[in-house]
Protein backbone atom coordinates (compact mmCIF):
# COMPACT_ATOMS: atom_id res chain seq x y z
CA UNK A 1 0.00 0.00 0.00
CA UNK A 2 1.50 3.31 -1.09
CA UNK A 3 0.17 5.34 1.81
CA UNK A 4 3.07 7.86 1.64
CA UNK A 5 2.72 8.54 -2.08
CA UNK A 6 2.82 12.30 -2.64
CA UNK A 7 2.69 13.05 1.10
CA UNK A 8 4.65 15.71 2.94
CA UNK A 9 6.20 14.03 5.94
CA UNK A 10 7.67 15.47 9.15
CA UNK A 11 9.90 13.42 11.46
CA UNK A 12 10.59 15.03 14.82
CA UNK A 13 13.79 13.69 16.33
CA UNK A 14 14.75 12.60 12.83
CA UNK A 15 18.48 12.50 13.60
CA UNK A 16 18.07 9.72 16.19
CA UNK A 17 18.68 6.04 15.50
CA UNK A 18 15.02 5.29 14.79
CA UNK A 19 14.52 8.59 12.97
CA UNK A 20 17.36 7.94 10.53
CA UNK A 21 16.24 4.37 9.82
CA UNK A 22 12.67 5.54 9.36
CA UNK A 23 13.73 8.25 6.92
CA UNK A 24 15.93 5.84 4.99
CA UNK A 25 12.96 3.51 4.54
CA UNK A 26 10.61 6.36 3.61
CA UNK A 27 13.04 7.62 0.97
CA UNK A 28 13.35 4.11 -0.49
CA UNK A 29 9.82 4.55 -1.82
CA UNK A 30 8.61 1.20 -0.48
CA UNK A 31 5.46 2.88 0.84
CA UNK A 32 5.14 5.33 -2.04
CA UNK A 33 7.29 8.27 -3.00
CA UNK A 34 6.69 11.22 -0.66
CA UNK A 35 6.60 14.79 -1.92
CA UNK A 36 8.90 15.94 0.87
CA UNK A 37 10.50 14.59 4.05
CA UNK A 38 11.50 17.07 6.73
CA UNK A 39 13.86 16.29 9.59
CA UNK A 40 13.10 18.42 12.66
CA UNK A 41 15.65 18.27 15.47
CA UNK A 42 17.73 20.55 17.66
CA UNK A 43 21.21 19.16 16.95
CA UNK A 44 22.79 20.96 14.01
CA UNK A 45 25.88 18.71 14.05
CA UNK A 46 23.81 15.54 13.71
CA UNK A 47 21.80 17.16 10.91
CA UNK A 48 25.00 18.17 9.14
CA UNK A 49 26.46 14.66 9.15
CA UNK A 50 23.12 13.09 8.34
CA UNK A 51 22.77 15.40 5.33
CA UNK A 52 26.23 14.40 4.09
CA UNK A 53 25.52 10.71 4.62
CA UNK A 54 22.27 10.79 2.68
CA UNK A 55 23.97 12.71 -0.15
CA UNK A 56 26.97 10.34 -0.11
CA UNK A 57 29.26 13.31 0.40
CA UNK A 58 32.31 13.51 2.66
CA UNK A 59 32.47 17.30 2.93
CA UNK A 60 29.96 20.13 2.84
CA UNK A 61 29.85 22.84 0.22
CA UNK A 62 27.63 25.90 0.20
CA UNK A 63 25.23 24.43 -2.35
CA UNK A 64 24.27 21.67 0.10
CA UNK A 65 22.99 24.27 2.54
CA UNK A 66 21.51 26.74 0.05
CA UNK A 67 19.71 24.11 -2.02
CA UNK A 68 18.32 22.33 1.03
CA UNK A 69 14.85 23.84 0.62
CA UNK A 70 14.59 22.34 -2.86
CA UNK A 71 15.57 18.79 -1.88
CA UNK A 72 13.22 15.88 -1.24
CA UNK A 73 14.92 15.51 2.15
CA UNK A 74 15.26 18.76 4.02
CA UNK A 75 16.28 19.79 7.50
CA UNK A 76 14.93 22.25 10.07
CA UNK A 77 16.65 23.20 13.30
CA UNK A 78 14.21 23.36 16.17
CA UNK A 79 13.08 21.83 19.45
CA UNK A 80 9.72 20.21 20.14
CA UNK A 81 9.69 22.23 23.37
CA UNK A 82 9.47 25.39 21.23
CA UNK A 83 5.85 25.65 20.10
CA UNK A 84 6.45 28.32 17.45
CA UNK A 85 9.35 26.42 15.86
CA UNK A 86 7.32 23.21 15.80
CA UNK A 87 4.27 24.96 14.38
CA UNK A 88 6.40 26.37 11.56
CA UNK A 89 7.69 22.89 10.73
CA UNK A 90 4.18 21.40 10.74
CA UNK A 91 2.74 23.82 8.18
CA UNK A 92 1.66 22.00 5.02
CA UNK A 93 2.49 18.56 6.46
CA UNK A 94 0.32 15.47 5.86
CA UNK A 95 1.95 12.90 8.18
CA UNK A 96 3.91 13.41 11.41
CA UNK A 97 6.18 10.81 12.97
CA UNK A 98 6.83 12.08 16.49
CA UNK A 99 10.11 10.45 17.52
CA UNK A 100 11.76 13.30 19.46
CA UNK A 101 12.49 12.25 23.03
CA UNK A 102 14.83 12.14 25.96
CA UNK A 103 15.23 8.38 26.29
CA UNK A 104 18.31 7.64 28.41
CA UNK A 105 16.90 6.24 31.65
CA UNK A 106 19.63 7.46 34.06
CA UNK A 107 19.73 10.93 32.44
CA UNK A 108 16.00 11.30 32.92
CA UNK A 109 16.36 10.27 36.57
CA UNK A 110 18.92 13.02 37.20
CA UNK A 111 17.11 15.63 35.10
CA UNK A 112 13.43 14.69 35.43
CA UNK A 113 11.95 18.04 34.45
CA UNK A 114 14.00 18.06 31.25
CA UNK A 115 12.28 14.77 30.38
CA UNK A 116 8.91 16.36 31.17
CA UNK A 117 9.62 19.29 28.85
CA UNK A 118 10.64 17.12 25.89
CA UNK A 119 8.55 13.97 26.27
CA UNK A 120 5.32 15.46 27.62
CA UNK A 121 5.32 19.12 26.59
CA UNK A 122 6.72 18.19 23.17
CA UNK A 123 3.77 15.88 22.51
CA UNK A 124 1.37 18.52 23.77
CA UNK A 125 2.91 21.04 21.36
CA UNK A 126 2.25 18.66 18.46
CA UNK A 127 -1.39 18.38 19.50
CA UNK A 128 -1.71 22.11 20.23
CA UNK A 129 -0.33 23.06 16.80
CA UNK A 130 -2.96 20.91 15.08
CA UNK A 131 -5.79 21.84 17.43
CA UNK A 132 -5.31 25.63 17.57
CA UNK A 133 -4.50 26.08 13.89
CA UNK A 134 -6.80 23.46 12.35
CA UNK A 135 -3.84 21.95 10.51
CA UNK A 136 -5.11 19.37 7.99
CA UNK A 137 -2.68 16.67 9.13
CA UNK A 138 -3.97 13.20 8.33
CA UNK A 139 -2.04 11.10 10.82
CA UNK A 140 0.33 11.44 13.78
CA UNK A 141 2.33 8.40 14.90
CA UNK A 142 3.85 8.79 18.37
CA UNK A 143 6.90 6.68 19.16
CA UNK A 144 6.77 5.26 22.68
CA UNK A 145 8.58 2.55 24.63
CA UNK A 146 7.96 -0.54 26.74
CA UNK A 147 9.12 1.55 29.69
CA UNK A 148 5.81 3.45 29.45
CA UNK A 149 4.01 0.30 30.59
CA UNK A 150 3.80 0.14 34.40
CA UNK A 151 6.50 2.83 34.55
CA UNK A 152 8.92 2.97 37.46
CA UNK A 153 11.36 5.48 35.96
CA UNK A 154 11.03 9.08 34.78
CA UNK A 155 11.55 8.18 31.15
CA UNK A 156 8.72 5.65 31.27
CA UNK A 157 6.45 7.96 33.26
CA UNK A 158 6.86 10.79 30.77
CA UNK A 159 6.39 8.45 27.81
CA UNK A 160 3.22 7.03 29.39
CA UNK A 161 1.83 10.56 29.60
CA UNK A 162 2.95 11.23 26.02
CA UNK A 163 0.85 8.26 24.92
CA UNK A 164 -2.18 9.56 26.83
CA UNK A 165 -1.83 13.09 25.41
CA UNK A 166 -1.72 11.83 21.83
CA UNK A 167 -4.56 9.36 22.33
CA UNK A 168 -6.81 11.96 24.00
CA UNK A 169 -6.28 14.30 21.04
CA UNK A 170 -8.53 12.03 18.97
CA UNK A 171 -11.56 13.25 20.93
CA UNK A 172 -11.78 16.68 19.31
CA UNK A 173 -9.72 16.27 16.12
CA UNK A 174 -11.76 13.81 14.03
CA UNK A 175 -9.88 14.73 10.84
CA UNK A 176 -6.51 13.73 12.33
CA UNK A 177 -5.78 10.20 13.51
CA UNK A 178 -3.36 9.95 16.45
CA UNK A 179 -1.85 6.51 17.04
CA UNK A 180 1.12 5.21 19.03
CA UNK A 181 3.70 2.47 18.81
CA UNK A 182 5.39 0.91 21.81
CA UNK A 183 8.41 -1.37 21.49
CA UNK A 184 11.43 -2.66 23.39
CA UNK A 185 15.21 -2.50 23.13
CA UNK A 186 16.32 -1.69 19.59
CA UNK A 187 19.46 -3.75 19.04
CA UNK A 188 21.49 -1.08 17.22
CA UNK A 189 20.51 2.22 18.81
CA UNK A 190 22.01 4.79 21.12
CA UNK A 191 21.67 3.54 24.66
CA UNK A 192 21.26 -0.11 23.67
CA UNK A 193 23.37 -2.66 25.51
CA UNK A 194 24.34 -4.50 22.32
CA UNK A 195 26.74 -1.85 20.90
CA UNK A 196 28.34 -1.64 24.36
CA UNK A 197 28.89 -5.40 24.44
CA UNK A 198 30.31 -5.30 20.88
CA UNK A 199 32.78 -2.60 21.90
CA UNK A 200 33.79 -4.50 25.04
CA UNK A 201 34.36 -7.72 23.08
CA UNK A 202 36.33 -5.82 20.45
CA UNK A 203 38.64 -4.45 23.16
CA UNK A 204 38.72 -7.77 25.04
CA UNK A 205 37.24 -6.14 28.13
CA UNK A 206 34.92 -7.72 30.70
CA UNK A 207 31.26 -7.50 29.70
CA UNK A 208 29.18 -5.48 32.13
CA UNK A 209 25.67 -6.64 33.02
CA UNK A 210 23.63 -4.92 35.70
CA UNK A 211 21.89 -8.00 37.13
CA UNK A 212 22.05 -11.70 36.32
CA UNK A 213 18.22 -11.84 36.10
CA UNK A 214 17.91 -8.90 33.67
CA UNK A 215 15.81 -9.52 30.53
CA UNK A 216 14.82 -7.33 27.62
CA UNK A 217 12.69 -7.41 24.48
CA UNK A 218 14.97 -7.21 21.43
CA UNK A 219 14.17 -6.04 17.94
CA UNK A 220 16.03 -4.67 14.96
CA UNK A 221 15.72 -1.12 13.70
CA UNK A 222 13.92 -2.46 10.63
CA UNK A 223 11.36 -4.22 12.83
CA UNK A 224 10.85 -0.99 14.74
CA UNK A 225 10.22 0.84 11.46
CA UNK A 226 7.88 -1.96 10.33
CA UNK A 227 5.85 -1.33 13.48
CA UNK A 228 5.66 2.39 12.75
CA UNK A 229 4.50 1.68 9.19
CA UNK A 230 1.91 -0.83 10.44
CA UNK A 231 0.46 1.79 12.80
CA UNK A 232 0.41 4.32 9.98
CA UNK A 233 -1.32 1.99 7.54
CA UNK A 234 -3.72 0.11 9.81
CA UNK A 235 -3.97 2.06 13.05
CA UNK A 236 -7.28 3.60 14.08
CA UNK A 237 -7.18 6.76 16.17
CA UNK A 238 -6.33 5.96 19.79
CA UNK A 239 -4.72 2.57 19.16
CA UNK A 240 -1.24 1.52 20.29
CA UNK A 241 0.73 -1.01 18.22
CA UNK A 242 3.02 -3.55 19.92
CA UNK A 243 5.30 -5.80 17.85
CA UNK A 244 5.54 -9.49 18.64
CA UNK A 245 9.26 -9.82 19.28
CA UNK A 246 11.75 -12.02 21.09
CA UNK A 247 12.93 -11.48 24.65
CA UNK A 248 16.25 -12.63 26.07
CA UNK A 249 18.39 -12.70 29.16
CA UNK A 250 21.13 -10.08 29.04
CA UNK A 251 23.67 -12.68 30.18
CA UNK A 252 22.75 -14.78 27.12
CA UNK A 253 23.21 -11.74 24.86
CA UNK A 254 26.67 -11.22 26.37
CA UNK A 255 27.63 -14.86 25.85
CA UNK A 256 26.46 -14.93 22.23
CA UNK A 257 28.30 -11.72 21.35
CA UNK A 258 31.59 -12.86 22.91
CA UNK A 259 31.48 -15.98 20.70
CA UNK A 260 34.55 -18.10 21.32
CA UNK A 261 36.18 -15.44 23.46
CA UNK A 262 36.37 -16.34 27.13
CA UNK A 263 35.66 -12.94 28.66
CA UNK A 264 34.38 -12.41 32.18
CA UNK A 265 30.94 -11.00 32.90
CA UNK A 266 30.85 -8.41 35.68
CA UNK A 267 27.59 -7.60 37.46
CA UNK A 268 27.53 -3.87 38.17
CA UNK A 269 24.18 -3.52 39.95
CA UNK A 270 20.93 -2.00 38.77
CA UNK A 271 21.13 1.56 37.42
CA UNK A 272 18.93 4.46 38.57
CA UNK A 273 15.39 3.87 37.34
CA UNK A 274 16.13 0.54 35.66
CA UNK A 275 13.68 -2.37 35.57
CA UNK A 276 14.69 -6.00 35.87
CA UNK A 277 12.07 -7.07 33.30
CA UNK A 278 10.21 -4.93 30.76
CA UNK A 279 6.49 -5.15 30.01
CA UNK A 280 4.90 -4.17 26.70
CA UNK A 281 1.29 -4.92 27.58
CA UNK A 282 0.16 -4.78 31.21
CA UNK A 283 -2.33 -7.14 32.83
CA UNK A 284 -4.79 -4.22 32.90
CA UNK A 285 -4.28 -3.50 29.18
CA UNK A 286 -4.43 -7.11 28.01
CA UNK A 287 -8.25 -7.19 28.31
CA UNK A 288 -8.52 -4.51 25.62
CA UNK A 289 -5.73 -5.87 23.42
CA UNK A 290 -6.41 -7.58 20.09
CA UNK A 291 -4.19 -9.42 17.64
CA UNK A 292 -3.54 -7.94 14.21
CA UNK A 293 -1.05 -9.98 12.20
CA UNK A 294 2.42 -9.61 13.66
CA UNK A 295 1.24 -7.09 16.23
CA UNK A 296 -0.79 -6.72 19.38
CA UNK A 297 -2.99 -3.63 19.31
CA UNK A 298 -4.10 -1.99 22.53
CA UNK A 299 -7.41 -0.24 22.12
CA UNK A 300 -7.73 3.16 23.79
CA UNK A 301 -8.49 3.46 27.48
CA UNK A 302 -11.13 6.10 26.69
CA UNK A 303 -14.36 4.23 25.81
CA UNK A 304 -15.48 7.01 23.46
CA UNK A 305 -12.60 6.14 21.15
CA UNK A 306 -13.15 2.39 20.94
CA UNK A 307 -14.59 1.42 17.56
CA UNK A 308 -15.19 -2.19 18.58
CA UNK A 309 -16.83 -3.62 21.66
CA UNK A 310 -17.26 -7.23 20.52
CA UNK A 311 -13.74 -8.59 20.52
CA UNK A 312 -11.83 -11.45 22.09
CA UNK A 313 -8.74 -10.33 24.04
CA UNK A 314 -5.54 -11.65 22.49
CA UNK A 315 -3.70 -12.00 25.79
CA UNK A 316 -4.62 -13.61 29.07
CA UNK A 317 -1.91 -11.82 31.04
CA UNK A 318 0.83 -9.25 30.74
CA UNK A 319 3.31 -9.41 27.87
CA UNK A 320 6.64 -9.41 29.74
CA UNK A 321 10.28 -9.94 28.77
CA UNK A 322 10.68 -12.38 31.66
CA UNK A 323 8.58 -14.97 29.80
CA UNK A 324 9.54 -17.26 26.91
CA UNK A 325 13.17 -16.15 26.59
CA UNK A 326 14.70 -17.40 23.35
CA UNK A 327 17.47 -19.99 23.12
CA UNK A 328 21.12 -19.16 22.52
CA UNK A 329 20.86 -20.43 18.94
CA UNK A 330 17.79 -18.30 18.21
CA UNK A 331 19.47 -15.33 19.85
CA UNK A 332 22.58 -15.81 17.74
CA UNK A 333 20.44 -15.77 14.59
CA UNK A 334 18.58 -12.64 15.73
CA UNK A 335 21.81 -10.79 16.44
CA UNK A 336 23.36 -12.12 13.24
CA UNK A 337 20.44 -10.80 11.21
CA UNK A 338 20.95 -7.39 12.83
CA UNK A 339 24.72 -7.45 12.32
CA UNK A 340 24.60 -4.91 9.49
CA UNK A 341 22.65 -2.45 11.63
CA UNK A 342 25.09 -2.92 14.52
CA UNK A 343 28.07 -2.36 12.20
CA UNK A 344 26.52 0.84 10.79
CA UNK A 345 25.89 2.09 14.32
CA UNK A 346 29.45 1.34 15.48
CA UNK A 347 30.85 3.10 12.40
CA UNK A 348 28.62 6.14 12.98
CA UNK A 349 29.65 6.59 16.61
CA UNK A 350 33.25 5.50 16.20
Q: Is residue 322 annotated as a catalytic residue, yes or no? A: no
Q: Which residues of the chain have pLDDT under 70?
A: 57-70, 190-191, 339-350
The class that CATH gives domain 8-183+220-244+279-317 is alpha beta
pLDDT tens digits for range 315-349: 999 999 999 999 999 999 988 877 666 655 545 54
| Res 188: pLDDT | 72
- Buried (b) or exposed (e) across 287-313, using 16+ Cβ within 10 A? ebbbeeeebbbbbbbeeebeeeeeeee
How many angstroms separate the Cα of 23 from the Cα of each of 31, 104, 127, 130?
A: 12, 22, 22, 22
Residue ranges per structural domain of the chain: 8-183+220-244+279-317
* Catalytic member of 46, 103, 139, 147: 147
pLDDT tens digits for range 205-242: 999 999 999 999 999 999 999 999 999 999 999 999 99
| Res 340: pLDDT | 66
| Res 65: pLDDT | 46
Amino acid sequence: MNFLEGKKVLVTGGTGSLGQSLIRRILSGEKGKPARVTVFSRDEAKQHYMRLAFLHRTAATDDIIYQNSQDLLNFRIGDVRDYSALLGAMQGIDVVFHAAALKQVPSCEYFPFEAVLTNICGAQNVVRAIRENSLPIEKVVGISTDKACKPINVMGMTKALQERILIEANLDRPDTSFVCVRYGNVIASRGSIVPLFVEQVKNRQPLTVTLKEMTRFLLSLDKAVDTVFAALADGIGGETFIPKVASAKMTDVARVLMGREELPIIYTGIRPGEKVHEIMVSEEECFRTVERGDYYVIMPTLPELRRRQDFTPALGGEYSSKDDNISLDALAKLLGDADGEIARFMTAVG
